[in-house]
């Protein structure tokens, strides 16, 4: 039995730490990152979620009569989920669901780099290139766009037109991929990034399940995802993909470890 109490009492002081999570679809923020988003909010971290698509190609469509109506519904559901997770800055961009691999890299990365330069996160979370436990291609591509953006946001020679008195280059400290020990049942083979950080989210397992259920149009998926979330329990696992600090990785229990 683990002792969960200590980690849950960590609270950061000024200056405020910031964490940005880059996802593909409304509901990704809850299922894969929700426990950490809410746990870090409780510790005084300012959080942001940037979701690349409004989920207009979803198989489950509620009462939506067309893609525009579904996008509008899912934007509202995303806002409700982010309210439960107490995300400070929740943004849905307008790229086409199911089509991220067709988008011009430079265009998407330009937009994400600007978000990183404006919000100035210390830590960035996203999907690994395998695409998470579903292996959804949009998750893979969102992770690739986020990874390039993480690295380019700090370089003065990338998109210098964004750099003004108010917006300067920004190099976040760490990039993490969400990872898992097991795919959902009946999926194509998935090779996960090794776990290097495990966040104990405690009671926020229930919070993230509630946030997932704010996505009413996705009701047919609730049972599948709830059972996977409960199987993984109160732990959310990540892989450290980049760090300002050189050297070998060691197992972490805090995504802000080593950042001052
Ligand atoms: Zn998704």
C-alpha of residue 41 to centroid of ligand 1, in Å: 22
C-alpha of residue 125 to centroid of ligand 1, in Å: 14
Asked if the bond preceding 15 is cis, omega within 30° of 0, the reply is yes
Predicted pLDDT of residue 243: 97
- Mean pLDDT is lowest, of 117-121, 185-189, 255-259, for 185-189
C-alpha 48/C-alpha 45 separation (Å) is 10
Using alpha carbons, list the distances in angstroms from residue 11 to 19, 143, 174, 187, 250: 14, 29, 19, 39, 22
C-alpha of residue 140 to centroid of ligand 1, in Å: 10
Residues present in the chain in total: 260
Predicted pLDDT of residue 2: 41
C-alpha 200/C-alpha 161 separation (Å) is 41
Predicted pLDDT of residue 260: 84
pLDDT per residue as tens digits for the range 130-160: 999 899 999 999 999 999 999 999 999 999 9
C-alpha of residue 98 to centroid of ligand 1, in Å: 10
Pairing status of strand 174-179 against strand 197-200: unpaired
C-alpha of residue 74 to centroid of ligand 1, in Å: 12
- CA-closest candidate to residue 184, choices 234, 241, 130: 130
Predicted pLDDT of residue 60: 87
Q: Which residues surround ligand 1, an ion (CB under 5 A)?
A: 24-25, 28
C-alpha of residue 55 to centroid of ligand 1, in Å: 8
C-alpha of residue 127 to centroid of ligand 1, in Å: 10
Q: If you compute the radius of gyration of the chain from its CA atoms, what whole number of angstroms results?
A: 17
C-alpha of residue 17 to centroid of ligand 1, in Å: 26
C-alpha of residue 122 to centroid of ligand 1, in Å: 24
pLDDT confidence bin for 40, thresholds 50/70/90: very high
C-alpha 250/C-alpha 134 separation (Å) is 27
Q: How many CB atoms lie within 10 A of CB 81?
A: 27
Query: To 5 degrees, how large is the angle CA 174–CA 175–CA 176?
Result: 120
C-alpha of residue 58 to centroid of ligand 1, in Å: 9
C-alpha of residue 135 to centroid of ligand 1, in Å: 9
C-alpha of residue 142 to centroid of ligand 1, in Å: 10
Compute the average pLDDT of residues 6-34: 84
Compute the average pLDDT of residues 80-105: 98
C-alpha of residue 31 to centroid of ligand 1, in Å: 9
C-alpha of residue 25 to centroid of ligand 1, in Å: 5
C-alpha of residue 27 to centroid of ligand 1, in Å: 7
For residue 12, is pLDDT > 90? no
pLDDT per residue as tens digits for the range 42-85: 999 999 999 999 999 888 888 889 999 999 999 999 999 999 99
Predicted pLDDT of residue 9: 59
């Amino acid at each position: 039995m683990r002792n969960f109490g200590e980690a849950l009492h960590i609270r950061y002081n000024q200056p405020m730490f910031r964490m940005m999570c880059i996802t593909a679809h409304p509901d990704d923020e809850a299922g894969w990152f929700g426990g950490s988003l809410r746990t870090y909010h409780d510790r005084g971290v300012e959080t942001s979620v940037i979701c690349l698509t409004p989920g207009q190609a979803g198989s489950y469509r509620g009462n939506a009569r067309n893609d525009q109506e579904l996008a509008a519904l899912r934007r509202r559901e995303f806002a409700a989920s982010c309210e439960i997770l107490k995300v400070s800055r929740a943004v849905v961009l307008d790229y086409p669901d199911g089509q991220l691999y067709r988008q011009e890299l430079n265009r998407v990365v330009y937009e994400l780099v600007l978000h990183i330069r404006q919000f100035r996160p210390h830590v960035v979370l996203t999907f690994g290139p395998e695409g998470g436990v579903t292996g959804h291609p949009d998750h893979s591509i969102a992770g690739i766009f986020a990874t390039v953006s993480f690295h380019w946001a700090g370089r003065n020679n990338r998109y210098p037109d964004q750099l003004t008195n108010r917006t300067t280059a920004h190099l976040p400290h760490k990039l993490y991929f969400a990872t898992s020990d097991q795919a959902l049942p009946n999926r194509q083979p998935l090779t996960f990034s090794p776990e290097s950080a495990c966040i104990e989210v405690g009671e926020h397992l229930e919070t993230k399940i509630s946030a997932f259920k704010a996505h009413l149009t996705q009701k047919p998926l609730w049972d599948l995802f709830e059972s996977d979330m409960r199987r993984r329990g109160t732990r959310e696992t990540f892989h450290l993909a980049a760090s300002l600090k050189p050297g070998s990785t060691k197992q972490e229990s805090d995504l802000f470890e080593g950042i001052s």
